[in-house]
Amino acid sequence: MRQTAAIIGGGVIGGGWAARFLLMGWDVRVFDPDPDAERKLAAVLENARRALPSLSDVALPAEGALSFHETISDAVTGADWIQESVPERLELKHKTYQRIQSACAPDAIIGSSTSGFKPSELQNCTSQPEQILVAHPFNPVYLLPLVELVPSDQTSDKSIEVAKSVLTSIGMHPLHVRAEIDAHIADRLLEAVWREALWLVSDEIATTAEIDDAIRYGFGLRWAQMGLFETYRIAGGEAGMAHFIAQFGPALKWPWTKLMDVPDLTPDLTEKIAMQSDAQSGGHSIRDFERLRDRNLVAILRALKSQDSAAGKLLNAQDNARIKPIKDMTRPFVTVQRTVPLDWTDYNGHMNEARYLQAFGDAADRFMELIGCDAAYIASGGSYFTAETHIRHLNEVHAGQEISVTTHCLGGAGKTMHLFHQMRSGDRLLATGEHMLIHVSLQTRKASPPAPKIAETLAQIAEGHGAYGHPDGIGAAIGKR
């Protein structure tokens, strides 16, 4: 049964939550009194539909249904998860919770996107404080996985566990903040950097562009993969963190920073920062920068994914959990089902020819895994090497479109495995790939018979697939049409 999320407040953060839930297969009900709310959310969804599926090598669930509602009561009725993202005014949040709890299910989770208020402050004057907790995300919510999950003493243990389960199921990483603290964890760290940056601009030490360069060309790249403490552990050399602290710890007492102070945000300083920021952006619109940000985040996250590191490890785990088992291997079956990522397209605006080969290679890898040639078998010394490939490019496909690859086993006797892949987008045949693979001993790097179990499974599949004939294109050679 499809689950339902209610989004109360559809601004930048609320819109990101709506996109995350919607693209993960939830029905989403939105309340926002802004008459322009639907248009603004549509722009967020346009970006999310291009970017989020690009992170996955497995097709996402079917998109849920989106609806807009004129009252909070109507929006939250029947919702499993309610995310409040109204402006940071405590009295407004209290009124919002009162309206939510007058209509929502008693076991619904109510999460707040607040970046500053503690959950006990939010729960004051509410009828069921145990329902409410902080679920503080980061922008864009549909791409960045971190969400700070902050309960109070009144939040029930059940609510915490359910919240963790839900957030994990939609591809997020719930960071359980075990004690209430102003601004939680991440924003306190960001605040320290922000204060220093304001002073550097105020004192005319650096411009906004120079400060951003210091981050994006330097430590920001390290933070994306290792955070702060692991970065400094490496900086300590072979002796690790203890040596780093011994060497650089005394500098913490030097008057480098102004962490307990902040410059007056006078009109002159505000204008200076705004003008430098606008000049730095080169006249690009906010929407232009959102799309650039998303493309860059997808590229960085996919790079981490290829190394199974940091946020990339989380994405790989989500992909593995989403892979559907093959119930009948006696007929040609789907080995790849995914969305074309943003970085798979070329200067012609469609999928790069090398990515067709990658998709077919992924299909062959999946087929190998299913016959028993998995990671454990390869570690034991046996594998298949591709000896010959022929690809026909029949139709173009663009970023954001879903593709599937069906694999037909043409033969599997002896040391060889003959596969024929057909790539489709809906009913359109996009390409075919014919591959001859040879079983190899990884010790000798020469052809060798596969293990008996693999040989038996492969022979059974080839026999079953043989009943479905030979698809068009098998054995085709390059020629003029």
Annotated binding site for NAD(+): 9-14
* Calpha distance 359→197 (Å, rounded): 45
Concatenate the DSSP letters of all residues of 101-113 into one string.
HTTS-TT-EEEE-
Single-letter amino acid code for the residue at 83:
Q
Q: Phi and psi (nearest 5°) for 175?
A: -95, 105
C-alpha 55/C-alpha 340 separation (Å) is 10
How far is the C-alpha of 376 from the C-alpha of 451, rounded, in Å? 13
The two tokens of residue 289 are 């920068």
Give every CB contact of residue 462 below 8 A, 6+ residues apart in sequence: 409, 410, 411, 412, 413
For 247-306, the three-class secondary structure string (H helix, E strand, C coil) is HHHHHHHCCCCCCCCCCCCCHHHHHHHHHHHHHHHCCCCHHHHHHHHHHHHHHHHHHHHH
For 49, 270, 288, 293, 346, the CA distances from 212, given in Å and listed in that order, are 28, 17, 18, 14, 29
Q: How many helices (H) and strands (E) does the chain have?
A: 17, 14
**Token digits of residue 87:** 């402006």
111 and 125 Cβ atoms separated by less than 8 Å: no
The partner residues of 84 in beta bridges, in order of sequence, read 8, 112
Q: Please report how many Cα atoms fall inside a 13 Å half-sphere around the Cα of residue 476, on the Cβ side.
A: 18
Report angle CA 85, 86, 89 to the nearest 5 degrees: 125
User: Where on the phi/psi map is residue 167: left (φ > 0), alpha (ψ -120 to 50), or beta?
Assistant: alpha
Half-sphere exposure of residue 228, counting CA atoms within 13 Å on the CB side? Answer: 5
